[in-house]
């Protein structure tokens, strides 16, 4: 894994690093964190003179806020500290931070005060850090609701209070930050589920810790460096046979568009030939929008394609089951999506075939499909997206993409990655079909399965992001528009990778 790829640690992993570093840390980690928070506060208030409100809780997160407050006060900034906690029960470092704050002349409020006449310059949330496990209730919940109502910069220290650091789940209620300053490394909860709706602009400060010295990260954020070796320009002496034959099978009655979207995406991402079978017997024999697609029977597609995507609009009838069984028996890269995943979840024989395949299998469920595959429900999946993706990968011995806000990729060796491209405009019909087409196109071009899954996932969101920057969406964005934009983004990646001497 490249050193430039951002690591992601669970709470247990962060605690392990802290326990190894803290005994010899000079200055202490809390002093480093508070200093970093004060520096960020200065940056956010350079053009906003006035009083800073820092709300501190009963643990080490509150201690970070107290150090931040002391440093701001020493720099002649006006600071109001609200502290809620039992001094006798504070952790040692947080207690020392409290004493130092009072020793510097700082005062403590025990309730949220009304804002000054000119309003707060900044609100900082240092109530609860990454260790929170219970829903926030009572006055804590009321405080957070009140803080969220102020239209000023709102800085979360380490993580917005009320967000589960491992899952991104809101625990009762949660602080909505405009900026989050997180320490040591990223946490999954900042990147997936509800986290991205609460963190605002995300900044990481390592606190001068060399993470590689202390721990191997279980997860990473996806970026183009992870598949840069595959981003190669084509030789002048090329022909379509060099770039594979994609097979897409789906498109039952009323769902022709699903298979056609996947096939069009595969064509736009450079597959040499794209064979598509629409299992609806009354389907057209040519795609008038994309006549380059070659419409074939399922049997022809299964026989000829060197990489397959099965499931977009496939249906759940006996013919669909027969097609899936044949596809699972082939030793070729196979993408399973949509109806194929529902059929897989319903049939023990299909599950055994999937697990025992020697060729790569890539499954791309949304939370509902993931719940069926795990014998649970989407709520359980969303409760721990990383854990669900890893379990799916182990159970089906497959590469897994769990779609959603902060899509999670899990690999059979238990590594996992989180994707940060994309936006809510992608919550529309056909987006998953386009993603399947992008993915199978790279597999047909003989990309390694892991690189193909990372690239297709990242590209899918990056194309939507580009369209939004250009004024297309986010609301009203269509899957077909993302399909078109993917080609431009992908070619840009290739140019950039090779301009940098790759």
Q: What is the pLDDT of residue 502?
A: 47
Phi first, then psi: give them for residue 205, nearest 5 degrees.
-120, 120
Which candidate, 220, 215, 172, 164, places its Cα nearest to that of 190? 164
- Could you tell me where the DSSP H helices lie in 229-360? 256-268, 298-304, 318-329, 339-346, 348-356
Q: Which of 191, 182, 60, 205 is nearest to 127 (CA)?
A: 60
Q: At 303, which helix (H) or strand (E)?
A: helix 298-304
How many C-beta atoms surround the C-beta of residue 326 within 10 A?
Answer: 16
| 413: its two tokens | 């060796």
Cβ neighbours of residue 395 closer than 8 Å, sequence gap 6 or more: 351, 355, 373, 374
> Per the annotation, where are the binding residues for AMP?
403-407, 432
Q: Which domains does the chain have, with CATH numbers?
A: 7-221 (3.40.50.10260), 243-499 (3.40.1190.20)
What is the reported pLDDT for 49? 87
- Please give the chain's pLDDT, 502 residues, in tens: 555 799 999 999 999 999 999 999 999 999 999 999 999 999 999 988 899 999 999 999 999 999 999 999 999 999 999 998 888 899 999 999 999 999 999 999 999 999 999 999 999 999 999 999 999 999 999 999 999 999 999 999 999 999 999 999 999 999 999 999 999 999 999 999 999 999 999 999 999 999 999 999 999 999 999 999 999 999 999 999 999 999 999 999 999 999 999 999 999 999 999 999 999 989 989 999 999 999 999 999 999 999 999 999 999 999 999 999 999 999 999 999 999 999 999 999 999 999 999 999 999 999 999 999 999 999 999 999 999 999 999 999 999 999 999 999 999 999 999 999 999 999 999 999 999 999 999 999 999 999 999 999 999 999 999 999 999 999 999 999 999 999 999 999 999 999 865 4
Buried b (16+ CB within 10 A) or exposed e, 284-296: eeebeebeebbbb
Residues in binding site for (6S)-NADPHX: 60-64, 129-135, 140, 158, 258, 313, 366, 433
Distance CA(251)–CA(313), nearest Å, equals 4
Angstrom distance (rounded) from CA 482 to CA 461? 9
Q: And the tokens for 7?
A: 């690591």
Q: Give the residue ranges of the annotated binding site for K(+).
A: 61, 125, 161
12 is written with which tokens? 């247990």
Q: What is the pLDDT of residue 220?
A: 98
Using alpha carbons, list the distances in angstroms from residue 417 to 290, 327, 399. Answer: 34, 27, 11
Q: How far apart are CA 241 and CA 255, in angstroms?
A: 30
pLDDT of residue 318: 97
Structure tokens at 425: 């405009």
Q: CA nearest 340: which of 249, 476, 225, 278?
A: 249
Binding-site residues sit at 60-64, 125, 129-135, 140, 158, 161, 258, 313, 366, 403-407, 432-433
What's residue 430's pLDDT?
A: 97
For residue 501, the model assigns a pLDDT of 55
What's the pLDDT at 352? 98
Q: Is 25 exposed, middle or buried (0-12, 13-18, 19+ CB in 10 A)?
A: middle
- pTM summary value: 0.95
Closest listed residue to residue 387, CA positions, set 194, 196, 192: 192
Neighbours of 113 (CB within 10 A): 11
- Separation CA 424–CA 237 (nearest Å): 42
């Amino acid at each position: 894994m490249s050193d430039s790829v951002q690591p992601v640690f669970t709470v247990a992993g962060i605690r392990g690093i802290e326990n190894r570093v803290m005994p010899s840390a000079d200055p202490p980690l809390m002093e480093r964190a508070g200093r970093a928070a004060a520096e960020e506060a200065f940056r956010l208030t350079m053009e906003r003179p006035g009083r800073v409100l820092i709300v501190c809780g009963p643990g080490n997160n509150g201690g970070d806020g107290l150090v931040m407050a002391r440093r701001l006060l020493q720099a002649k900034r006006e600071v109001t500290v609200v502290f809620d906690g039992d001094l006798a029960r504070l952790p040692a470092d947080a207690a020392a931070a409290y004493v130092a704050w009072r020793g510097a002349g700082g005062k403590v409020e025990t309730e949220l005060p009304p804002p000054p006449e000119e309003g707060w310059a900044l609100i900082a949330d240092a109530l609860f850090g990454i260790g929170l496990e219970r829903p926030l209730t009572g006055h804590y919940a009321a405080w957070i609701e009140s803080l969220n109502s102020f239209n000023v910069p709102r800085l979360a220290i380490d993580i917005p209070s009320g967000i589960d650091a491992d899952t991104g789940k809101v625990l009762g209620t949660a602080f909505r930050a405009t900026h989050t300053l997180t320490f040591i490394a990223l946490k999954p909860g900042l990147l997936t589920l509800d986290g991205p709706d609460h963190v605002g602009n995300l900044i990481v400060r390592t606190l001068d810790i060399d993470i590689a010295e202390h721990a191997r990260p279980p997860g990473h954020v996806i970026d183009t460096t992870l598949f840069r070796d595959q981003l190669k320009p084509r030789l002048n002496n090329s022909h379509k046979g060099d770039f594979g034959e994609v097979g897409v099978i789906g498109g039952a009655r009323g769902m022709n568009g699903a298979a056609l979207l996947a096939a069009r995406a595969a064509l736009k991402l450079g597959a040499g030939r794209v064979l598509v079978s629409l299992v609806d017997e009354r389907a057209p024999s040519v795609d008038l929008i994309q006549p380059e697609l070659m419409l074939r029977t399922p049997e022809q597609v299964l026989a000829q394609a060197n990489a397959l995507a099965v499931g977009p609009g496939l249906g759940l009838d006996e013919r669909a089951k027969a097609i899936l069984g044949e596809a699972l028996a082939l030793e070729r890269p196979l993408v399973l999506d949509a109806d194929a995943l529902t059929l897989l979840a319903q049939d023990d024989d299909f599950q055994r075939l999937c697990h025992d395949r020697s060729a790569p299998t890539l499954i791309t469920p949304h939370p509902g499909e993931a719940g069926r595959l795990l014998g649970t429900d989407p709520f359980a999946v969303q409760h721990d997206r990383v854990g669900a993706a890893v379990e799916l990968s182990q159970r089906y011995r497959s590469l897994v993409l769990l779609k959603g806000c902060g899509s999670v990729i899990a690999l059979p060796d238990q590594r996992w990655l989180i994707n940060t491209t994309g936006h809510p405009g992608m919550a529309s019909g056909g987006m998953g079909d386009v993603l399947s087409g992008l993915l199978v196109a790279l597999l047909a071009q003989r990309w390694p399965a892991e690189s193909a899954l990372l690239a297709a996932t990242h590209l899918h969101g990056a194309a939507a992001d580009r369209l939004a920057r250009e004024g297309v969406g986010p609301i009203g964005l269509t899957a077909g528009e993302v399909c078109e934009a993917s080609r431009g983004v992908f070619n840009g990646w290739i140019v950039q990778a090779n301009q940098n001497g790759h």
